[in-house]
Amino acid sequence: MPGIHRRTLANGLKLLVAPVAGTSRVAVAVHYRVGFRVEPPGMEGFAHLFEHLMFVGSQSLPDGGFFDHVRDTAGVASGRTHQDYTEFYQVVPRSALDQALFSEADRMRAPSFTQEALTEQLAGVAAEIREMIVERPYGGMPWPHMAGLLYTSFANAHDGYGDPEQLKKATLEDCEEFFARYYTPGNAVVTVAGDVDPGDVADRVERYFGDIPARDAAPQPDLSEPGFFMDQTASFTEPGIPATAITIGQWLPDPAADLPGYLAHVVLARMMARQITPDGTSAVSTSCGFFGPLDARAPDALLLTVLVPPATPAVQMVGAVRTQWGMWSKGDISGEVSAAVNELVSEHHRDHDDIETRCRALGRMETLFDRAELLDELPERLGEVTPAQVGKAAARLHGAACAVMTIEPGRRRTRPKPGHTERPAREAGQAIRIPEPSGGPRTVPGREDQPRPVLGEHVEATFGNGLRAVAIRAGGAPVVELRLRLPAGPAGWRRPDHLELLAHVLARRARVGLHARGAGGELTVRTDGQWLDVAGYATTDGLDAWLGVLSEVLTPAAAAEPLSQGRVLLRGRTPARIADDALRAYLLGPAPSEAAGLADVHRTMIVPAGGSFVAVGNADPAWILSRLEDALEWWQGQAQPVPATAADGGILLVPREDLSNVLVTFSAPEPPDGPDDVARYLATGVLGRYHRNRSIRDAPGTTGLGASGYEAFLGRDVLVDFPRAYIQVMRPKEQVPDVFTEVLDRLPELTAKPPEPVELDRAREYCVMEMLWGLDSPAKIADLVRIGVSFGQGAGLLTRLYDRLGQITADEVVEAAVSTYGRMPLPSMVVGDIDADWLADEIEREVTELEGD
């Protein structure tokens, strides 16, 4: 990877710049050396609450203005609070770099805290705690509840989420004091990653952050622990869970003092995770650290979690784990160590070839260990871990005490309650206030011109078996991203249960095959009902091994599962998937004959003709294509012909009593002639693809999609064998009749209205920015090109969109809107807990009820 460029401003702020060639967006992260371990008694959870407050407003960006540039450019902005740091990050187009830096500097200089904002964020935090801890099955396991078993000091052991009732005691004075103590320039690291010039970025950071006054930060807490010499246990119950969950925690070495020993434990944890079930999934979930490796200063813990049958004694699992540690401490483990290291190294390369992940990780490493360079050293350091070091780590854990937490089925939910510690009284005059910022609000900088996105060197070909292939050179890591997409064909579209079962069985075969080779990488098999997608990555050196597993996946083989099991697998579908599955099956009609078994289904669906393969990596594209063609030349088969579809309108209802709201989908085949796909894309943006679009702006109103105030999502995809435009609306069932009148009746008027110049310019800019995510990493390039190829486009889709969007006129937008969304002739789909006769009476149209799950 390219090097890391450093600079320290006069006020103590650290800057890291990581150039990444070829990206169209930039990632900006700000890490503060303050996490929930700094919280004093009586303020548990305050660091996380404060992170939420930092998004509410600042002197120059009041009332949520922080997000304006993010929303307008299809960017991303978020934050996290962990043990020893709080991070804020953004990913925006390169043209918005100044706005991203300005927004971060403004809240570092002059945040705005109001009682209204504090009350609002308290409610948001309380909702997050309910969702993540209270209402989630096994909630709080392992974090935050395991911390109380592993540690004794308040800083390490307390609940970093806190108790919402106690958090309500927080005051604006507390907010100002917390900011003044910890949110100082010298306590922060700013990281920028993307296709940028380090000197130019340094000048911009100096411009926006340089005049923030230096302040001393409060000292970090004492994290020393006495340790424990006997196992610590706790057991809780929860109704409605199918199995007992057991988490075992043991201390990790301090990575700052003993990085080789720490990494040996990382390898050991991966070896444990590689103990798989016959289904190819991990028998044990492992984590080095509550939030991952090298995510906290010591102390942190190695955590193992396993699901076992109810009433299984925790001591039995602890014994089994200790036995495994003991075996690995004495035997020959060179093969296991090699396979684990291969997985870890390939994952590290792949994950950090993405600008957001790389940016955040660099800032985290610098914040915790003062060595951002450690991120790029880790693959080599992991490769240096020896079986002897791993055996020593296993011997250490075999003889060490552990903390054990169990959650088992029971009639009521029990958990440790957050401690209600008392805050020490603040002495008069002791409060620390935010320094008064100099000057008033500052002018938000404008956006610059966005550079033209250009895909790297690429080659396209169609193999002799009919498979279309695209290979692209991109990225800086020795990894190749691989995407095989096959249309499910009439057999899969008619029988989504067979398709789902086939994907399930092939995914298992892929997991087992990749695990056996121990070369690292990933290979998944999934379906969305329209396509069967085989996706993953391999190291450049391991590409042939990955393709060998793929060949095994593509080869028909007998399976023990009966075809009827597919219906069970369909139960987790989203409402949108249910609607589309039902619509495809309805349009094609019943199958002429039933498949004899899963191998028969495989031979029918898994054929190269009509499929596409996209490969992206830091290698010669021609070489990649040659490897693909050589590996798959044996694979033959023709796609089934697609019968004519019945596009006769009507309303189809799939009843689902488990849904609280009802999804309504209107669809139309895109006409084969008329406006090009770029004009249709821009028309979709004007009508309903972003926060300023017409349907949302005008609802409730006279021209939007719905006087009831709901929002409609508009999109374009492929259904069966034709491009489709659709509108989806999710509303309570009592509003469903209004959806039909307000959407279908208003579409002619809404689509025929010419966009105003400002409206068109905003939509055009958004549509340009929306697609730039596809150059953030090789993985995202592969995903974007796969989408484009699915639409019949080539690898240069993104560049063509950029060039053509600026040429689309208002008249072309109207023509595209009318022809694409002006009428919805395909059957309308309704999915939810609603009665067909009642709906038919309300809208005075015939409603046909289909079979549900």
Q: What is the pLDDT of residue 672?
A: 85
- Alpha-carbon distance of 613 to 628, in angstroms, equals 9
pLDDT single digits (tens) 305-326:
999 999 899 999 999 999 999 9
* Helix, strand, or coil (residue 372): coil
Q: What is the pLDDT of residue 710?
A: 58
CB 447 within 8 A of CB 314: no
Nearest Cα to Cα of residue 137 among 232, 234, 244: 244
Beta pairing class for 232-238 and 301-308: unpaired
Would you say residue 608 has pLDDT above 90? yes
Q: What is the pLDDT of residue 438?
A: 78
What single-letter DSSP state applies at residue 473?
A: E
Indicate the pTM of the whole model: 0.95
Sheet holding 188-194, edge to edge: 5-8, 14-19, 188-194, 25-32, 86-93, 76-81
Burial class of residue 836 in the structure, from the number of CB atoms within 10 Å of its CB (0-12 exposed, 13-18 middle, 19+ buried): middle
Indicate the average pLDDT of the chain: 93
Q: What is the pLDDT of residue 712?
A: 74
Q: What is the pLDDT of residue 437?
A: 80
Instruction: Identify the band that residue 255 occupies on the pLDDT scale cut at 50, 70 and 90.
Output: very high
Q: Which two tokens stand for residue 565?
A: 């099991």
How many alpha carbons fall within 13 Å on the CB side of residue 307? 9
- Chain length of the chain: 853
pLDDT single digits (tens) 534-558:
999 999 999 999 999 999 999 998 8
Tokens 């023509």 correspond to: 815
Nearest Cα to Cα of residue 647 among 719, 561, 547: 719
Average pLDDT over residues 438-451: 93
- Alpha-carbon distance of 807 to 764, in angstroms, equals 10
- Alpha-carbon distance of 121 to 240, in angstroms, equals 31
Instruction: Identify the band that residue 430 occupies on the pLDDT scale cut at 50, 70 and 90.
Output: low
Output 601 or 704, whichever has higher pLDDT.
601
Nearest Cα to Cα of residue 808 among 679, 677, 689: 679
Least-confidence region, from 415-429, 538-552, 719-733: 415-429
pLDDT single digits (tens) 347-358:
999 999 999 999
- Alpha-carbon distance of 73 to 63, in angstroms, equals 19
Burial class of residue 5 in the structure, from the number of CB atoms within 10 Å of its CB (0-12 exposed, 13-18 middle, 19+ buried): middle
Average pLDDT over residues 618-638: 97
All structural domains of the chain:
5-209 (3.30.830.10), 232-349+372-409 (3.30.830.10), 458-632 (3.30.830.10), 651-849 (3.30.830.10)
Burial class of residue 373 in the structure, from the number of CB atoms within 10 Å of its CB (0-12 exposed, 13-18 middle, 19+ buried): middle
- Alpha-carbon distance of 307 to 799, in angstroms, equals 48
